Amino acid sequence: MPSRHHPCPTALTHALYAVLAGGTAIATHAQEAPRGDVALNPVVVTGSPAATDSFDLPFSVDSIDMREARRANIGVNLSESLGAVPGLVIQNRQNFAQDLQISIRGFGARSAFGVRGVKLIADGIPATNPDGQGQAASFNLDTAERIEVLRGPFSTVYGNHAGGVIQLFSRSGEGAPRMNGQVMAGAWGTTRFGLGAEGESDGIGYLLDASRFDTDGFRDHSSARRDQGFAKITTNPDDQSRLTLIANGLRQPDTQDPLGVTWTTYQRDPRASEPVATLFNTRKSIDHLQGGATYERRFGQDRLELVAYAGRRSVTQYQAIPVAPQANPRHAGGVIDLDRDFHGLAARWIAQRTLSSGELTVRTGIDYDASEDDRRGYENFIGSTLGVRGALRRDEIDTVTSLDPYIQAVWKTGPWQWQAGLRYSNVDFEVDDRYIAGANGDDSGSVRYRRVTPAAGVVYALSPATNVYFSAGTGFETPTLNELSYATPDSGFNFALSPSRSQQLEAGVKAFVGDATRVNAALFQIRTKNEIVVAESVGGRTSYANAGETLRRGVELAAESALAPTLSARAAFTWLDATYDSAFVTHIGGTPTTIPAGKQLPGVPELAAYAELAWTPRPGVSLAGELVYRDEVYVNDLNDARPAPGYTLVNFRLSAEQSVGRWTFSELLRLDNLFDRTHVASVIVGAANGRYYEPGPDLSWYAGVRADYRF
């Protein structure tokens, strides 16, 4: 088993001194840089009461320009655009039935499907349910203007499951009307088509988009189709207000699920799936539709914002659960049939005042979110025929609501900026069991979770070009509905499961070096109690329990520079040591097993890095190389199974753009995994039967063209 070097307990202290000393050194040599440079100092709103230069905030937050990212990527997955964000590990599972694997500073790494532990927001509307489970696939990347990624203590002011925050902002329709069309094709039978229109007419801005994506998939049994639609209307009822209406939809019919594979299968054929995937024809269908409205009104220096949204999500999933375990009368079957209705309201007031010798900005508000699942379970067989809907085994209504008041404030005075936030989270779960038959008793019940999550931070300007900061906060994560569903394979809901609680510290330096370079360095520590871990995985069902304590500590570095008028570079590096800080007991193969303190958290790479060098030899033409590194990843709590090996991938891209009259044409060629490295792209933590590994694709090519016409 490969070993890792773990720093001594004083490493955090030494690193803190190093970061602060480095900040002093940078301040000595840094020149007063152009603070208004949008590329190096974007204005962000995530984590702050009001729009603020990212340079001036006491936490780590990055803004990704999606207009530029769209020229460099095929626009299917969020993972294409966020590689240069330190602290964020976002992996394409090569499995569209289970969404991306996203973790921030280790939060969310355990999720077997969807996104857990990271708050997802699109245009002010949550893409994460009140229980903490989110879906990144609902993000529309064609219409995105920017994406902001928040890490660290101030994530906690977003409440439940906010180990980090990823927030998307779509463009608003502006200027002369225009239309666009795009076509893309690539490896593994991949095609993508899109049509869009945007602009402004008679004071009404509009943004419309529709696309279809198809792929046979790199792996066997991994074909997928994804249809997306998006509409955004903006108008100004008067000169002090703005109204925005948004609707988006996602449809994925019969998306094949290749599942994970064992190490033996991976070595034999990285493209393979286990026979059980085709035997049960594992697959998932998704229909998602939602709409929302945002109203903003100014009252002098103050502003009122109101948000309302509602939607429906339907999911049907066929799993590879063997027939024998389903003989247990309390088993819920191998087919999930779910209809979810969700809605929410939000109100916030932003006020700005002069206080003493400084400026005070206060944001106060309340968020209400609710979802109701009509959940049914069926056997995944009829007689000897597998992979079909059989007898009913589960029928219930699951309701989750959250009501969270909060307040944030920023006070700027001289070289100091002080910021604080406080949120009171109220999350209620209620289960109404309607399937009570024989030994399968009534599993109805409810549980409530309450928690105050404060955060505070301070920034000090050592010079106009160098800021140092410190922040601290506490957060919590409730169990998701999926984690509450099974106490053990033979019993009902696990209402005794407790939320995990975290205490986070962060210190860092942000600096401009010369006229065209931005450097960020952050040091963090996170202590978590009651970490939610796998208790037992038997008969196709996983139950969860609370572990003792975990410790995450690490360093993030990021740099972006215009090296020359035609040459630019950016890089990101993350070191994260994530361990169990106390022993706990889990079940492996039905046998109680003690996980000793000091074991690494599975699913979390210790080292991750990204580097990019881009050359623009002439206007409209860009060539770039990308390097992606991931350290080895443990796949289970005991760290005794074969870890997914570390890997280094090199990607290449060429993009071009030309304007001819009212037309603008753009072309893209991408070569991913240029040196054809065999690698495991992601892992399924604690997977049953050793099926931990999700292989990544070999050398892959993608090419596309886009045409825009301005009326």
pLDDT over threshold 90, residue 642? yes
Give strand pairing partners of 702. 186, 670
**pLDDT at position 277:** 96
**pLDDT at position 416:** 95
CA torsion angle for 79, 85, 90, 94 (degrees, to 10)? 30
CA atoms of 556 and 534, how far apart (whole Å) = 29
pLDDT over threshold 70, residue 23? no
Specify the length of the chain in residues.
711
CA atoms of 300 and 416, how far apart (whole Å) = 26
pLDDT tens readout for residues 144-168: 999 999 999 999 999 988 889 999 9
Q: Residue written as tokens 């996203």?
A: 102
In angstroms, the first-to-last Cα distance of the chain is: 63
Answer whether residue 404 is part of any domain. yes
Helices (H) and strands (E) in the chain, counts: 5, 41
Chain-centre distance for alpha carbon 659: 36
Split at pLDDT 50, 70, 90, the class of 297 is very high
Least reliable range by pLDDT among 237-246, 261-270, 542-551: 542-551
More confident residue, 593 or 460: 460
Least reliable range by pLDDT among 1-10, 119-128, 298-307, 327-336: 1-10
CA atoms of 298 and 240, how far apart (whole Å) = 5
Here the tokens at position 182 are: 């795009």
Of the CA atoms within 13 Å of residue 25, those in its CB half-sphere come to: 7
698-707: string of b/e by CB count within 10 Å (b at 16+)?
Answer: bebebebebe
Answer whether residue 249 is part of any domain. yes
Chain-centre distance for alpha carbon 584: 28
CA atoms of 79 and 136, how far apart (whole Å) = 10
CA atoms of 678 and 645, how far apart (whole Å) = 10
pLDDT tens readout for residues 54-70: 999 999 999 999 988 88
CA atoms of 527 and 533, how far apart (whole Å) = 15
Percentage, residues of the chain above pLDDT 70: 93
Residue of 554, 590, 556, 586 lying closest to 571 (CA atoms): 556
Q: Residue 314: which residues within 8 A CB-CB, separation 6 or more?
A: 285, 286, 287, 288, 338, 339, 340
- Contact assessment for residue 493 and residue 487, using Cβ atoms and an 8 Å cutoff: yes
Here the tokens at position 110 are: 């355990």
**pLDDT at position 539:** 65
pLDDT over threshold 70, residue 661? yes
pLDDT over threshold 60, residue 214? yes
Q: Which one-letter amino acid corresponds to residue 351? A: A
Answer whether residue 5 is part of any domain. no
pLDDT tens readout for residues 183-203: 999 999 999 999 999 999 999
CA atoms of 499 and 378, how far apart (whole Å) = 30
pTM score, whole prediction: 0.93
**pLDDT at position 44:** 92
**pLDDT at position 31:** 42
Residue of 89, 93, 91 lying closest to 694 (CA atoms): 93
Split at pLDDT 50, 70, 90, the class of 522 is very high
CA atoms of 453 and 155, how far apart (whole Å) = 10
Answer whether residue 67 is part of any domain. yes
pLDDT over threshold 80, residue 27? no
Highest mean pLDDT among 39-43, 96-100, 438-442: 96-100
Phi, psi of 142 (to 5 degrees): -60, -35
Q: Look up the CATH number of the domain holding residue 613.
A: 2.40.170.20
Positions of E strands within 300-415: 302-318, 335-355, 358-378, 381-382, 385-386, 392-413
**pLDDT at position 93:** 87
Q: Give the DSSP per-residue string, 106-119.
A: TBTTT-SSSEESSE
Here the tokens at position 578 are: 């994530």
Answer whether residue 4 is part of any domain. no
Least reliable range by pLDDT among 107-121, 239-253, 517-531, 601-615: 107-121
Q: Residue written as tokens 């990544």?
A: 696
- Contact assessment for residue 552 and residue 106, using Cβ atoms and an 8 Å cutoff: yes
Least reliable range by pLDDT among 30-34, 82-86, 305-309: 30-34
pLDDT over threshold 60, residue 1? no
Query: What is the total count of domains within the chain?
Result: 1
pLDDT tens readout for residues 561-595: 999 999 999 999 999 999 999 998 877 666 788 88
Residue of 578, 496, 576 lying closest to 535 (CA atoms): 496
Q: What separation in angstroms does the CA of 607 have from each of 30, 88, 107, 139, 636?
A: 28, 11, 15, 28, 18
Q: Which one-letter amino acid corresponds to residue 216? A: D
CA atoms of 166 and 121, how far apart (whole Å) = 6
Torsion over CA: 14, 63, 652, 136 (sign) = positive
Give the sheet arrangement for strand 144-151, strand by strand: 60-65, 144-151, 164-170, 119-122, 125-126
Of the CA atoms within 13 Å of residue 596, those in its CB half-sphere come to: 3
Q: What separation in angstroms does the CA of 164 have from each of 116, 136, 276, 577?
A: 10, 14, 35, 17
CA atoms of 151 and 166, how far apart (whole Å) = 9
Q: Residue written as tokens 């572990």?
A: 547
- Contact assessment for residue 544 and residue 495, using Cβ atoms and an 8 Å cutoff: no
Answer whether residue 543 is part of any domain. yes
More confident residue, 19 or 338: 338
Q: What separation in angstroms does the CA of 18 have from each of 7, 256, 701?
A: 15, 49, 43
Least reliable range by pLDDT among 62-76, 399-413, 525-539, 629-643: 525-539
Here the tokens at position 26 are: 């940078």
Average pLDDT over every residue of 38-45: 79
**pLDDT at position 540:** 66
Phi, psi of 361 (to 5 degrees): -120, 130
CA atoms of 218 and 548, how far apart (whole Å) = 39
Angle made by CA atoms 587, 593, 595, in degrees to the nearest 5: 110
Answer whether residue 333 is part of any domain. yes
pLDDT over threshold 50, residue 2? no
Split at pLDDT 50, 70, 90, the class of 76 is very high
Percentage, residues of the chain above pLDDT 90: 76
Highest mean pLDDT among 29-33, 290-294, 533-537: 290-294
Give the residue numbers spanning the domain of 46.
11-710
Answer whether residue 436 is part of any domain. yes
